[in-house]
Amino acid sequence: MKLYLNGLIFSCVLLLAEHVCCQNNQQVSNFRVVQEDCFSLQETLVRLMNQYKKQAQKSKKIETIQQCLSRAQKLNCIFSIGYCHEMIGSIQFDNGLIDNAIQEYSKSITYYTKLDKNEDLARLQNKLGVALTFQGNYEKGLNAHLIALNLLKKINFQNSELMADVYTNLATVYEEENRGKEVLKYLGLALNIYKSKNNQIAIADVYNNYGKYYFNKENDILKAKKYYEKAFDIKNGYPESISLAVTSFNLGIIYLENLIDLKKATYYFEKTKSISKSFNNVYYEGMALQGLGEICRKNKNFQKSEELLLQAVKLQKSVNSLPELNLCYESLYQLYSDMGNYKLSLDYKLLQIQIRDSIYNQEKSQQFLELERKFKELDRNKELELIQRDQKIKEIEAKKNETILWIVIATFFILILVGWIFIRSLDKQKLLKLENKNAKVKMSALSSQINSHFIANTLVSIKNYINQNEIPKGSEVIDDFSLLMRQTLIKSQESLIPLLEDIEILKLYIQLELENNSHSFNYEINISEKLKIDSIFVPPMLFQPLVENAIKYRKKNLTHPICISFSEADKNLKVEISNPGKKLELNETNQPINQGEGIRNVRDRIDLYNQFHKTNASLAFTNTLNVNIVILTIPFNYERKSI
């Protein structure tokens, strides 16, 4: 009944507003007059929309506020439109829909900016910063909070609760950036303001942040527990909230993983699940279910553990939360291993590897985009500096005394000449940096390539072992494959690695190729005793594509092994790879007429290596009878230079 009456009152107010706006449109064509009449209704609209917000949050629906937005848009009431977007964003954030919340907050900021409302803008920038930080975009989140901080200082709101909120959120971002002093500084500032206002809920939130800092960054479990319990005791005396669910979950983790009190851990996870479910917060509900599933697994209640973990997987998939989904897969892997169901255990281990790869690729993509953004920003700053310098030169020239005209003219030409030389020098430096960056990206991309057929064949080999019930052998191949993938991802980020490490990775790769080819070939690796393979540095995985070709194009059913030798030749590292196979067709420069992708990649990497190290590394091919030989020559490099 209350909702119906509120709706009726709101409809009447909007009809009145429309009537007023229509009259003004007939009398005055100036749009601003209509807008002023809309603003005269904004206090009524805000009160009504606040009531709608509370009801919509309880029912987890935003249709009511969207109706308010639609009517406000018809009146073109800018403040009301911005306020509606803000409330929709808040509900979306509470429901775990972070991307949607960021979009709504950004729309609201656009409308508030038109009105130059600094307090409202600061509040929105603070909310936007929280959402961006929650998403993992810490730099943009920090920037939003700093904008909010400056806006509040501008209007002398230093001791307001909104300023305390900004301090708390700044501490959260600095915690992610491992800046401990700033974390404690801003948490202390926030706590002082909240205590002066006697805001117990906010004080509890600060205690929760203290606990999170000591748990995650200082590894001080007892201090973290003390602050979490302080926060929980305060919040538990007030109506349930998502904030209470977060604190309860943190205590559950401590009792599950550190203090090993499963009874208390169960209590806190159940509390988190109950609150999250009532607020329709899928993210924390899924995390609580994963914690409860782990407790059941440790209590040997495997059936209940399986049920809870599968529910958690379903919820985390619905919000595309990859890190939490990775934890669920890890728990299922352990669960099925404990149950003796090794097939399902291996399936979830493979899923976990896929999730980890997805997370890694997302992080690397984000890092690359961020570096590109910084590089463009640096270019803009340099261009601005050049413009400012040029302007100063012109101002100095304008102040010259006309009585010494010839001196002024001579100085003018000299300055132009110096400026031209200086600008050309800057342009050359900028171009060189661009070329270096481009070459580095190419080098990184080439060195991180892994043949997709090799991955597919390895997974098929694992599957065959599982189908043949050779679980130990399958597990061994999985371990080798995981080690190879990890080493590849890590080492591919480095420009140079010791030859010893590269040979170990190569051996691991050949061992997996043996599994993929049913041990249908032999190989041998010969290393000269004169070589100091632990102090010679080479580009990572440079030889792997050549070995891959030797295996791929070998002549079948021959006992002659694939030979890989490392030796010294005139202060050069000489790598020779020979295999029995179809005779290569070479051109007049002893290069293959038909070059595959692998050989092209190796040749490109050698060219880039020569460019940066000023060397003459080379790749040559020859064949004798039925044996093809590839010879790679690289000058010795005894230091790890960064490209």
The pLDDT of residue 468: 80
- Is residue 194 a contact partner of residue 164, using CB atoms and an 8 Å limit? yes
In a domain, 254, yes or no: no
- Is residue 255 a contact partner of residue 268, using CB atoms and an 8 Å limit? yes
Mean pLDDT, rounded, for 360-387: 57
If you ran DSSP here, which 8-state letter would residue 492 be given?
T
pLDDT tens across 531-545, in order?
Answer: 888 888 998 888 888
Q: Which residue has the higher pLDDT, 317 or 14?
A: 317
192 pLDDT higher than 60: yes
**Residue 22: band (very low, low, confident or very high) from pLDDT cuts 50, 70, 90:** very low
What is residue 155's three-state secondary structure?
coil
CA–CA dist 26, 43 (Å, integer): 25
Q: Give the range among 292-306, 451-465, 565-579, 601-615 with minimum mean pLDDT.
A: 451-465
In a domain, 600, yes or no: yes
In a domain, 414, yes or no: no
The pLDDT of residue 52: 46
pLDDT tens across 462-508, in order?
Answer: 877 788 878 888 888 888 888 888 888 887 778 888 989 999 988 98
pLDDT tens across 480-490, in order?
Answer: 888 888 888 88
Q: DSSP string covering 495-558, please?
A: S-EEHHHHHHHHHHHHHHHHHHTTT---EEEEE-TT--TTT-EE-TTSSHHHHHHHHHTBPTT-
Q: Which of 632, 610, 608 is nearest to 621 (CA)?
A: 632
The pLDDT of residue 409: 82
In a domain, 492, yes or no: yes
CA–CA dist 638, 106 (Å, integer): 53
If you ran DSSP here, which 8-state letter would residue 561 be given?
P
In a domain, 602, yes or no: yes
pLDDT tens across 549-600, in order?
Answer: 888 877 776 678 889 999 998 888 999 998 887 777 777 777 787 777 778 8
Q: How many domains does the chain have?
A: 1
**Residue 36: band (very low, low, confident or very high) from pLDDT cuts 50, 70, 90:** very low
Burial pattern 338-370, b for ≥16 Cβ within 10 A else e, equals: ebeebeebbbbbbbbbebbeeeeeeeeeeeeee
In a domain, 621, yes or no: yes
Which residues constitute the domain of residue 525? 452-635
Mean pLDDT estimate for the chain: 78
In a domain, 565, yes or no: yes
Q: Is the dihedral of CA 401, 403, 404, 406 positive or negative?
A: positive
The pLDDT of residue 542: 86
Mean pLDDT, rounded, for 331-349: 87
The pLDDT of residue 19: 38
CA–CA dist 262, 257 (Å, integer): 9
The pLDDT of residue 515: 84
Partners of 498 in beta bridges = 537
4 pLDDT higher than 80: no
The radius of gyration computed from the CA coordinates of the chain, to the nearest angstrom, equals: 33
Domain CATH code at residue 628: 3.30.565.10
Mean pLDDT, rounded, for 308-332: 86
**Residue 33: band (very low, low, confident or very high) from pLDDT cuts 50, 70, 90:** very low
Looking up tokens 């995650």 gives 216
Based on DSSP, count helices (H) and strands (E) in the chain, helices before strands.
Answer: 24, 7
Tokens coding 526: 């010969």
Q: Which long-range contacts (CB under 8 A, 24 or more apart) does 224-228 make?
A: 224/250, 224/254, 225/251, 225/254, 225/259, 228/254
The pLDDT of residue 75: 77
Query: Quick one: how far is CA 610 from the chain centroid?
Result: 33
The pLDDT of residue 30: 38
pLDDT tens across 399-439, in order?
Answer: 766 777 778 788 878 888 888 888 887 767 766 765 665 45
The pLDDT of residue 445: 46
pLDDT tens across 50-72, in order?
Answer: 554 444 444 445 677 777 778 77
In a domain, 610, yes or no: yes
